[in-house]
């Protein structure tokens, strides 16, 4: 594989995650762009990068950059990803791909027209035991599906003093908790279970009406005594889906559940067996069997499906996690740029699918009616 030159646009927590994954995949990180030239210089020095770009235009003018990683607040994704594609760059764009369905569709169409590799980090697909669950369902081990259920729970906004740009619909989009984390659950469950949602009935609730003024740091609590701002985005959400095969699915999402850091959990129940996955205990896949039996499949390179073994880069007992998923996703994106076809790589088309589901969930929450997804 040739050495790809990449640039990172955005310097928050997720920008640092992208940088690490790019380096581990063998890319050359040429530089970084930030919200200001000064911020870019500070981060370039901290990250030991050769260049601090003044702005996105300077990134796109660099002939040494083949791939642009867009790691900025949501409302900037459409314009930045579009400019990168029009400049002939491959793109990894943080989710959501865009804050509206129309913008997401436009980006996917542009990527296809320009023949560029364009991916979205739905990285929970890259947990090895998630690949094992998908393989078992595809092989028919569960039988016809009876029920899909689960949740994605966080607590980083439990304190009313906690805030950041995601809470503001002008920056984060019309939905917060569902678009931010419910979208991950939906992408994962559709991909693992092999059945697409066709209808949804949803409800949103804002349980903290005012929050402290946001700080510039993600996932932080600002000092007390600042200004308070009204909240219009949801803190919790619930949704029921129906799949194309008629299977019911239920989802609860929250960013105000005490003690839950990133508990993405799903269970898929079939006529012959069930599987369950908890992202906070990602080394194990629970398997429910008839006659009061159950089993645990433990991640490792020596057993299970081919994809599970490929992604198990450490021996069993040496825990892998979210960082490893992100590393594998970025490496697969670069392999796709080199002409390979990695299994399960989430592209801009998957970003459009996510935007469609979020759009319909918002519509259902507003009308309190079953709403077709398509």
Q: What is the mean pLDDT of the chain?
A: 96
Percent of the chain with pLDDT over 90: 95
Nearest CA to 353 out of 37, 97, 165 is that of: 97
Average pLDDT rounded to a whole number, residues 3-19: 97
Q: How much is the pLDDT for 226? A: 66
Average pLDDT rounded to a whole number, residues 364-370: 97
What CATH class does 125-320+346-372 carry? Answer: alpha beta
Tell me the pLDDT tens digit for each residue of 285-344. 999 999 999 999 999 999 999 999 999 999 999 999 999 999 999 999 999 999 999 999
Q: How much is the pLDDT for 48? A: 96
CB neighbourhood size of 335 (10 A): 16
373 close to 200: Cβ distance less than 8 angstroms: yes
214 close to 222: Cβ distance less than 8 angstroms: yes
109 close to 347: Cβ distance less than 8 angstroms: no
User: What is the domain partition of the chain in residue ranges?
Assistant: 5-119, 125-320+346-372
CB neighbourhood size of 329 (10 A): 25
Average pLDDT rounded to a whole number, residues 206-222: 74
Res 215 pLDDT > 90 = no
213 close to 183: Cβ distance less than 8 angstroms: no
Residues contacting 331, CB < 8 A, separation 6+: 21, 24, 25
Q: How much is the pLDDT for 224? A: 46
Per-residue HEC secondary structure of the chain comes to: CCCCEEEEECCCHHHHHHHHHHHHCCCEEEEEECCCHHHHHHHHHHCCCCEECCCHHHHHCCCCCCEEEECCCHHHHHHHHHHHHHCCCEEEECCCCCCCHHHHHHHHHHHHHHCCCEECCCHHHHCHHHHHHHHHHHCCCCCCEEEEEEEEECCCCCCCCCCCHHHCHHHHCCCCHHHHHHHHHHHHHHHHHCCCEEEEEEEEECCCCEEECCCCCCCCCCCCCCCEEECCCCCEEEEEEEECCCCEEEEEEECCCCCCCCEEEEEEEECCCEEEEEHHHCCEEEEEECCCEEEEEECCCCCCCHHHHHHCCCCCCCCCCHHHHHHHHHHHHHHHHCCCCCCCCCEHHHHHHHHHHHHHHHHHHHHCCCEECC
CA distance 4 to 119: 16
What CATH class does 5-119 carry? Answer: alpha beta
Res 98 pLDDT > 90 = yes
Tell me the pLDDT tens digit for each residue of 102-112. 999 999 999 99
The answer to whether the pTM exceeds 0.75 is: yes
CA distance 219 to 358: 23
| Residue 96: cis peptide before it, omega within 30 degrees of 0 | yes
CA distance 8 to 16: 9
Considering only CA atoms, give the Rg of the chain. Answer: 21
CB neighbourhood size of 281 (10 A): 13
Q: How much is the pLDDT for 1? A: 58
Res 74 pLDDT > 80 = yes
**Same fold? 5-119, 125-320+346-372:** no
Exposed/middle/buried for residue 295 (C-beta within 10 Å: 0-12, 13-18, 19+): exposed
Average pLDDT rounded to a whole number, residues 262-283: 98
């Amino acid at each position: 594989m040739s050495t790809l030159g990449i640039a990172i646009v955005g310097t928050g927590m997720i920008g640092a995650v992208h940088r690490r994954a790019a380096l581990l995949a063998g890319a050359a990180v040429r530089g970084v762009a930030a919200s200001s030239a000064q911020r870019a210089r500070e981060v370039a020095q901290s990250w030991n990068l050769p260049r601090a770009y003044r702005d996105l235009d300077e990134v796109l003018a660099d002939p040494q950059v083949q791939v642009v990683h867009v790691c900025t607040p949501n409302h900037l994704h459409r314009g930045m990803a579009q400019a990168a594609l029009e400049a002939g760059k491959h793109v990894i764009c943080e989710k959501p791909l865009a804050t509206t369905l129309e913008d997401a569709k436009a980006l996917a169409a542009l990527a296809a027209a320009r023949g560029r590799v364009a991916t979205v980090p739905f990285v929970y697909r890259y947990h090895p035991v998630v690949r094992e669950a998908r393989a078992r369902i595809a092989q028919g081990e569960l039988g016809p599906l009876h029920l899909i259920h689960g949740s994605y729970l966080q607590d980083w906004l439990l304190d009313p003093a906690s805030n950041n740009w995601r809470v503001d619909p002008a920056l984060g989009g019309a939905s917060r908790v569902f678009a931010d984390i419910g979208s991950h659950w939906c992408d994962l469950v559709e991909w693992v279970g092999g059945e697409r949602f066709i209808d949804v009935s949803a409800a949103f609730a804002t349980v903290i009406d005012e929050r402290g003024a946001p700080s510039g740091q993600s996932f932080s609590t600002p000092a007390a005594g600042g200004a308070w701002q009204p909240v219009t985005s949801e803190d919790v959400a619930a949704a029921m889906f129906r799949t194309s095969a008629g299977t019911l699915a239920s989802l609860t999402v929250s960013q105000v559940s005490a003690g839950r850091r990133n508990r993405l959990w799903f269970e898929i129940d079939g006529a012959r067996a069930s599987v369950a996955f908890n992202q906070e205990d990602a080394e194990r896949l629970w398997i429910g069997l008839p006659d009061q039996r159950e089993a645990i499949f433990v991640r490792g390179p020596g057993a299970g499906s081919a994809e599970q073994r490929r992604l198990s880069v450490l021996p069993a007992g040496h825990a892998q996690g979210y960082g490893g998923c992100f590393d594998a996703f970025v490496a697969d994106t670069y392999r796709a740029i080199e002409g390979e076809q990695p299994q399960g790589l989430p592209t801009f088309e998957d970003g459009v699918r996510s935007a469609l589901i979020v759009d319909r969930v918002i519509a259902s929450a507003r009308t309190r009616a079953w709403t077709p997804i398509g």
